[in-house]
Amino acid sequence: MKFKIISECKHTGARTGKIYTDHGVLETPFFMPVGTYGSVKTQTSEEIKDLPSKILLSNTYHLFLRPGMDIMTKAKGLHNFMNWDGAILTDSGGYQIYSLEGHRTIDSDGVTFKSHYDGSMHRFTPEKIIDIQRIIGSDLMMVLDVCPSGKLNLKDWKEAVQLTTNWAYKSYERYNKTEPKYGHKQSIIPIIQGGTNKELRIQSAKELLDLDLENYAIGGLAVGEPKEAMLKTTEWMNDIIPLEKSRYLMGVGTPVDLIECIRRGVDMFDCVIPTRNARNSQLFTDKGKINIRNAQYKDDYSIIDTNSTSVLSQKYTKAYLHHLFRMNEILGLRISTAHNLHFYINLMKTVKLKIEDGTFNSWSAKFVDIYNKGRND
């Protein structure tokens, strides 16, 4: 998928750009709502499109296990299955496999693991992950990687880099030997690993950059390392990855994380934080986070957020949403999820405008300061 830079901040690594897919042009930087199982929790595909979002993320590991590739084949891919006409990026499942410690075995050719659903045994190889994603029909396909914890030692990080590089080349070979099944183009994205070690990150990047692809991912962060180490590693990647390549920082993060990493040259993000936190009654606003379950909102009849672009946040009061959460009503989850997704998508819209009008540097510093000092109840 071709990536084109549109504008750049003169004082930071921030830039705007476009990624061209057969399901639409993706304007960077952007945030992808997470639809792990083929749906963004509590939201319809139409509601995600209306955010507006032109891309969402799903997961190869989970879709392989359920509903399975027989169903996906009969449905003619995930786009048809979930009635989504935007772009889809599928994670390879490397992170999920990492989380199955004690229930998986990694070797030089792939990984054998036990399903967390029913205990059945399965085998993933780099080649099989490409085959599965051909069936899913995702526009952007992540290659199989080894995602070690941010708290592991140098030896583990070295092994992860070696395997991830070898698997990326096997994935690339399989990708070139196979064709899309549903008439639209698909592209692979290799994942740079190396923990928070600069030399390993440089090694991983250089080895994968020899593939000369348009888009590259930064993996192995937001897995337990200190926030300062995550930001420093992202800075290294901005220096290492050529400007003409897009950068996808996997699994990050909070609103402040997004702004800080955009300052460091990142173009693409995904994270469960806006949807997961919404289900736990936490709302993101321009002035910080609020927990709508707190007693102070029981008699607060003001609109949820007058600055939100979510129709639901403009129509309902804090007291009503507080009541819905107290009574475990599903409507509360829908309202809060829509609210947080609108906040994230509109944050990215604002970022693009600020980069293009030349005020991103000062605006971003002010945003981070206000957000860090803002409400956090």
Domain limits for position 300: 279-376
Q: pLDDT value at position 224? A: 86
Measured CA to CA, the distance from residue 342 to residue 360 in angstroms comes to 20
- Distance in Å from the first CA to the final CA of the chain: 42
Q: Is 72 exposed, middle or buried (0-12, 13-18, 19+ CB in 10 A)?
A: buried
Residues 128 and 59 in one domain: yes
Residue 297 placed within a domain: yes
DSSP 8-state class, residue 88? E
Domain membership flag for residue 253: yes
Q: Domain ends where: 271, 305, 323?
A: 271
Q: What is the per-residue pLDDT for 199?
A: 97
Mean pLDDT of all residues in 261-266:
98
State pTM to two decimals: 0.97
Residue 136 CA, chain-centre distance (Å), reads 18
Which of 117-131, 199-213, 285-299, 363-377 is the least confident region?
363-377
Q: What are phi and psi of 28, to 5 degrees?
A: -95, 155
Q: What is the mean pLDDT of residues 2-22?
A: 98
HEC profile of 102-134: CCEEEECCEEEEECCCCCCEEEECHHHHHHHHH
The residues facing 5 across adjacent strands are: 17
Tell me whether residue 19 is in a domain.
Answer: no
Name the 3-class secondary structure at 247: strand
Last residue of a domain, one of 239, 271, 303: 271
Q: Which of 252, 271, 290 is the last residue of a domain?
A: 271
Integer Cα distance of 72 and 57 in angstroms: 16
pLDDT in tens, 104-137: 999 999 999 999 999 999 999 999 999 999 999 9
The Cα 260–Cα 321 span in angstroms is: 31
Task: Determine what percent of the chain is predicted with pLDDT higher than 90.
Answer: 91
Task: Give the active site residue among 139, 257, 267, 270.
Answer: 270
Is the pLDDT score of 100 beyond 90?
no
Hey, what are 130's tokens? 């490409």
> What is the percent of the chain with per-residue pLDDT over 70, rounded to a whole number?
99
Rounded CA-CA distance 220/148 in Å is: 6
* 74 and 219 housed in the same domain: yes
Whether residues 172 and 36 share a domain: the answer is yes
Active-site residue, from 91, 145, 257, 267: 91
For 68-72, 146-150, 311-315, 339-343, which range has the lowest pLDDT when averaged over its residues?
A: 146-150
- pLDDT at residue 152, as a whole number: 67
Write down the pLDDT at residue 136. Answer: 99
CA dist., res. 314 & res. 301, Å (int): 12
372 shares its domain with 349 = yes
Is 246 inside a domain boundary?
A: yes
Cα–Cα distance for residue pair 340/51, rounded to 1 Å = 10
CATH number at residue 237: 3.20.20.105
Tens-digit pLDDT profile for residues 219-248: 999 888 999 999 999 999 999 999 999 999
Q: Are residues 128 and 205 in the same domain?
A: yes
The answer as to whether 2 is a domain residue is: no
pLDDT at 94: 85
Residue 34 counted as domain residue: yes
Query: What's the mean pLDDT in 167-177?
Result: 98
Cβ contacts of 101 within 8 Å, gap of 6 or more: none
Which residues neighbour 12 within 8 Å (Cβ) at sequence distance 6 or greater? 262, 263, 264, 360, 361, 364
Q: Quote the CA–CA distance of 188 and 236 in Å, as a whole number.
A: 23
Q: Do 249 and 331 reside in the same domain of the chain?
A: no
270 is catalytic: yes
Angstrom CA distances, 316 to 55, 331, 375, stand at 28, 11, 21
**Average confidence (pLDDT) over 286-301:** 96
State the Cα–Cα distance between residues 127 and 120, nearest whole angstrom.
21
Does 5 reside within a domain? Answer: no
Look at residues 44, 139, 31, 134 and name the one whose alpha carbon lies nearest to residue 89.
139
Q: Phi and psi for 370 in degrees, rounded to 5?
A: -65, -45
* 325 shares a domain with 265: no
Clarify whether residues 199 and 65 are in a common domain: yes
What is the tally of structural domains in the chain? 2
Question: Helices marked H in 142-197 — which ranges?
Answer: 154-177
Statement: residue 149 has pLDDT above 80: no
Instruction: Give the chain's mean pLDDT.
Output: 96
Contact yes or no for 90/133 (Cβ under 8 A)? yes
Is-catalytic flag, 286?
no
Predicted local distance difference test score (pLDDT) of residue 304: 98
